[in-house]
Amino acid sequence: MNSEELLAQERRLQFTRFGNDVAIELGLHLLAAAREQGLPIAISVQRNGHRLFHASLPGTAPDNDRWLERKARVVDRFGHSSFYVGTTFREKGTTFEADSRLDPDLYAAHGGVFPVILRGTGPVGTVGVSGLPQAEDHAFVVTQLEEFLNAREGQ
């Protein structure tokens, strides 16, 4: 997946409102999908740095929480998905770790955390998972966001 495709996902997957209740509903949606698929992932939903939902399924470890934190810092700093940020560095023939000048113990531009974008406002939080290979983490979040937002349109 290239950076243009990843940006298109961000333009498409936006919220009209995002409060605590919506964050918890989103987290529960991801949790149900992960359980149904038997995925060993940790899930986090945040708004402005405030963790509103967190769950860790069997097969996860404390390291998954650290990965979520590092990927969310990338999203908070750059305003784009962690996968997009890493992809843009790779497309330039380098890596995030080599050229970002950010501490890799604090920042990870690996797939799995997506910005919560409020239409007309911009990024206001993050939704993410950790536990699968980075492309799969990203794909799971995008698929679930798409389902969640499509279901809410009819409300």
Q: What is the pTM of this model?
A: 0.96
pLDDT (tens digit, 9 = 90+) per residue, 46-87?
999 999 999 999 999 999 999 999 999 999 999 999 999 999
Q: Is 51 inside any structural domain?
A: yes
Q: Is 52 inside any structural domain?
A: yes
pLDDT (tens digit, 9 = 90+) per residue, 5-41?
999 999 999 999 999 999 999 999 999 999 999 999 9
Q: Is 82 inside any structural domain?
A: yes
Q: Is 104 inside any structural domain?
A: yes
Q: Is 155 inside any structural domain?
A: no
The 113-118 sheet, strands edge to edge: 50-56, 42-47, 122-130, 113-118
Q: How many domains does the chain have?
A: 1
CATH number, position 53: 3.30.450.150
User: In which residue are the tokens 């209740």 written?
Assistant: 21
**Domain limits at 23?**
3-150
